[in-house]
Chain A
Amino acid sequence: MSLIVLFVLVGTPLLLTLIALSLARRRIVTGDEWKRVRLMLAAAVVTGGVVAWLLQGTLDLGRGAMLAPAILGVSLVAGVGLGETVVRPRRPAGPRTASLETRQVTEYLPRGVTTVVVATAALHLAALTLTTATASADDMGRAGRQVAAQCGGTGSVASPYPGSFYSGPLTALLVVMGLATLAALMAVVRRPRGFAPDEVGDDVLRRASTTRVLAAAGAALAASHAGIAFFAGTALLRMDCQRPWMAPVGWALLASVPVALLVLGWLLGLIVTPGALPAERAQQPVETR
């Protein structure tokens, strides 16, 4: 098990970085650039899928299944981040220009996508906080693995329920994803000028990149929330004996699943939609860096 965890922590980012570097080594024609970025995305999804599958077989009691969407999401964030920063054509030779404006990450965040991603993160965090606070230990003494209720002389339990047994590693994974997203956004904003013929075009490309990075993070959160809300909601609703809050919260969690899936679909659409390149440079061949 430790070897698998080591592979996830070290091997996955290393493998994705090597793929990105190999894609960036060969000569990139500007118009052809999107194909390489898509290859990078596909590699990230396949890698994330393999890692999620390996963990599902390794982590016990459904922890692998519960973490699978987040693992795929983290891999997607890494793939998009590398695609937007490493898999880039080299700038053409000649004079180089630099604006004296200081670029900030906040200037390049699209308002609509940012709002949706922040709302998804808040919803997911609230769901995880609730399930962690209401979970209890199972019959083997494993903390935070089931939900229980007592009605007079009888009791009822449902499991798996995303208490600390599941939410602990998931939160750690989401923190890693958040840091990776921040690093990717900063790398995009610090990316040198010169991929577009003018400053306006440069800003357009930079904003398209930050949109994709943010969309990847939002997709990871939405996928993770859909899984967690489904497990938690069905667990609460199948209890024979329920506390007053359990049925409404269970239905609310289940209702949030299709919303999360819709958000996931929209954000994935933003990621795979190619960004428009400035017309003046569309046919111009450039070298890889």
Chain B
Amino acid sequence: MTLVLTLQPDDPTPPYQQVRRQLADLITAGLLGPGDRLPPLRQLAGDLGVAVGTVGRAYRELEQEGLLTSRRGGGTRVAAHARAPEGGRRQLLEGMAAEFVARARTLGFTDEEIIVALGRQLPS
């Protein structure tokens, strides 16, 4: 399965933060495992249409969090100890759901409306 990052130009979240969050989520969900190699900065930056420094900042922050390791000439890889926590995928999904529900409630939607909207996104 090819893993893909998506950058939304309309999202107020800074691009480096979007990249950082998506990579962190992929590691937490176990889709990126220890030792997996990430693409070079230039390739990722070129594909996403952002400056090399933007991707570099995302990589750097993930390194500081201990999720990635970089070696000169060896590229950037997922750190050996950055294993997906037990129930990490479930926690991630619940976090996303909680975030969605909180945002919808802030905008004044009722719980029923939220459930209906979510149901429409999941056609059986």
Contact = CB atoms under 8 A, between A and B. Distances in A.
Contacts of B48: 96-98
B9 A98 contact: no
A156 B124 CA distance: 90
Interface centre among A97, A100, A101 (most CB of B within 10 A): A100
Interface in B89-104: none
Contacts of B5: 97-98, 100
Interface stretch (B32-40, B65-73, B105-113): B32-40
A13 interface: no
B39 A101 contact: yes
A194 B6 CA distance: 12
Interface in A75-99: 91, 93-99
Contacts of A193: 47
Contacts of B6: 95-97
B7 A190 contact: no
Interface residues of A, number: 18
Given A94-B9, A102-B39, A191 B46 contact: yes
A94 B42 CA distance: 20
A98 B9 CA distance: 14
Nearest to B40: A102
Nearest to A103: B43
A125 to B, nearest CB: 30
Contact of A99 (B4, B7, B8, B37): B4
B117 interface: no
Contacts of A96: 6-7, 9, 47-49
A190 B43 CA distance: 6
Contact of B37 (A91, A97, A102, A190): A102
B15 to A, nearest CB: 10
A200 to B, nearest CB: 10
Contacts of A100: 2-5, 26, 32, 38-39
A199 interface: yes
Given A96-B49, A199-B2, A102 B43 contact: yes
Contacts, number: 63
A95 B2 contact: no
Contacts of A93: 9
Contacts of A194: 47, 49
Contacts of A101: 2-3, 39
Nearest to B44: A98
A97 B39 CA distance: 13
B112 to A, nearest CB: 31
A219 B89 CA distance: 53
Contact of A192 (B3, B37, B49): B49
Contacts of B37: 102
Interface string A170-214: 000000000000000000001111100001000000000000000
A96 B47 CA distance: 7
B27 to A, nearest CB: 11
A181 to B, nearest CB: 20
Contacts of B44: 98
A42 to B, nearest CB: 28
A95 B9 contact: yes
A203 to B, nearest CB: 11
Interface of A: 91, 93-103, 190-194, 199
8 contacts: A91-B49, A95-B7, A96-B9, A100-B32, A102-B37, A190-B42, A192-B46, A192-B49
The 10 A-B pairs of least Cβ separation, nearest first, read A98-B47, A192-B46, A100-B3, A193-B47, A102-B39, A98-B5, A96-B7, A98-B48, A96-B49, A96-B48
